[in-house]
Amino acid sequence: MTSMTAPMMSEVDRLTGRVVLHLDAPAPRLSNERPELVNALTRGKPASALPTLVSALFSLCGHAHQITSALAVRAAQGEAAALSGRDAAALQLETLREHLRRLWLDWPRVLRGEASIPVDRLQSLHSCPALQGPLSRLAAEPEAVLAPTRAWLETHVFGEPLTVWLLHWLRDGEAALADWCHRTDTLPARLLRDVRAAAQAVRHPLRALVVTEGEALRGLVQRLASQPGHARVPAWDGVPVETGPWCRTHETDRLPESRTLWWRMGARLADLARLALPDEPALPVSPGLSAFVAGPAGRHVLQSGAVSLGDHAGVAWVEMARGTLLHWVALDGEGPRATVRACQVVAPTEWNFHPQGPVASLLLHDPALCDRTRLALLPTVSAAYDPCVPFAVMSPDGSVCPAADFPATAPLVQTVQPGPLQGPEESPCTN
């Protein structure tokens, strides 16, 4: 158990920002402390340079930011905006790679409190063909890298053919995931096995962000343009929503009203399997599995779009590792001399870690959870919703610790100071 003795914000945190769960009295809250740099750093820059500049500001999923920015700029210039085949392949590969990095590098640290990654585990990750080379080269011939990557995934992640794993998931969902992680000895299976009870115990309402052209999108853009800071607390059709691999566009017609953290974590593995499959997968013949249920695979998993808004403004979005990424841009001038008048980026972390969003609702306001359970759930919540910046907990005395320092399987959280979230002695909960 780690005591909270790191009150100062690191220099890295100051640059990248962080999300913080404050245990302050009288009302605990969740805040997004990511600095608003995009608009200030891009205003007046050449529009042609914006995609490269924005991708440099966001080191995680940099190519997704680059192609989304490029789509938004083209939409602002009144051009038809759609991903090229090579950009779609790069987005597919980057999303797959990002899923693997989180499973290998973040999940052991967050879910088990591991301070370092063993060398042999790093070597196994580095042996994945999809991680061997720059995206620009791999995306030129995606099948040449995806074919051996499928074999790697079947050995190191799923322990069985991808189509078999996906078929079980599509048929039985959470039950199939539980059965799989207990009969498989890969690293992701072992990590999920450790947190199964906690992740299955939490069923949480699902209000999904599925971006489509219409009034909700135009309302969001209007608020991004007129309300400073709205990109950090976005609302869709007036309310906070969540995004993630489980909210893909192809899932729109079958998303449930409520699902567990366990299902959300399983959906990330299903996303990984779909991304690695050929564009037209050959799932095993099954009377109970229609083409609709089977869904898309390969580069067709990730959807994107763009809309010209008039007055040299445009908005674009793509689905990527953590959910849906959205860029809005307004330009001065036309053609090669156009410059950036304003630019805003809304990343998945802004939706999921909104002060009234899904993580805040779960950790602070779910009446079904006792206080110590909320704190013990922090690592599982962090792994499931996967913020792109550090996630920390601040006690009432101002001391801070990473959410990962609360072991996912710990029955008690003894270092949190008594406050509006009760300490273990005050809690009537026994789980």
Report residue 430's pLDDT band, with 50, 70 and 90 as the boundaries: very low
Return the structure tokens found at 418: 């008594």
pLDDT value at residue 239: 94
Stated pTM of the model: 0.88
Residues annotated in a binding site? 345, 388
pLDDT value at residue 290: 60
Is 409 domain-assigned? no
pLDDT, tens digit, for every residue of 175-200? 999 999 999 999 999 999 999 998 99
pLDDT value at residue 415: 35
| Pairing verdict, β 19-22 and 391-394 | parallel
Q: Kindly tell me if the per-residue pLDDT of 396 is higher than 80.
A: no
Is 107 domain-assigned? yes
Is 359 domain-assigned? no
Is 209 domain-assigned? yes
Q: Is 144 exposed, middle or buried (0-12, 13-18, 19+ CB in 10 A)?
A: exposed
CA distance 380 to 407: 9
pLDDT, tens digit, for every residue of 306-347? 999 999 999 999 999 999 999 999 999 988 899 999 999 999
CB crowding 50-85: b at 16 or more within 10 Å, else e: bbebbbeebebbbbbbbbbbbbbbbbbbeeebebee
Is 3 domain-assigned? no
Mean pLDDT estimate for the chain: 86
Report residue 8's pLDDT band, with 50, 70 and 90 as the boundaries: low
pLDDT value at residue 335: 87
Return the structure tokens found at 8: 């100062």
Asked if 1 contacts 410 with a C-beta cutoff of 8 angstroms, the reply is: yes
Q: Kindly tell me if the per-residue pLDDT of 288 is higher than 80.
A: no
CA distance 57 to 49: 13
CB atoms within 10 A of CB 383: 26
Range(s) of the domain holding residue 87: 37-281+294-353
Domain count, the chain: 1
Asked if 312 contacts 341 with a C-beta cutoff of 8 angstroms, the reply is: yes
Those residues with Cβ within 8 angstroms of residue 201's Cβ, 6 or more apart along the chain or in another chain: 260, 373, 431
Residues annotated in a binding site for Mg(2+)? 345
Residues annotated in a binding site for Ni(2+)? 388
Beta bridge partners of 204: 259
Query: CATH code at 340?
Result: 1.10.645
Is 389 domain-assigned? no
Section 402-410 average pLDDT: 61
Those residues with Cβ within 8 angstroms of residue 391's Cβ, 6 or more apart along the chain or in another chain: 18, 19, 20, 21, 353, 378, 382, 402, 403, 404
Is 277 domain-assigned? yes
Is 50 domain-assigned? yes
pLDDT value at residue 193: 96
Percentage above 90 pLDDT, the chain:
61
CA distance 6 to 389: 17
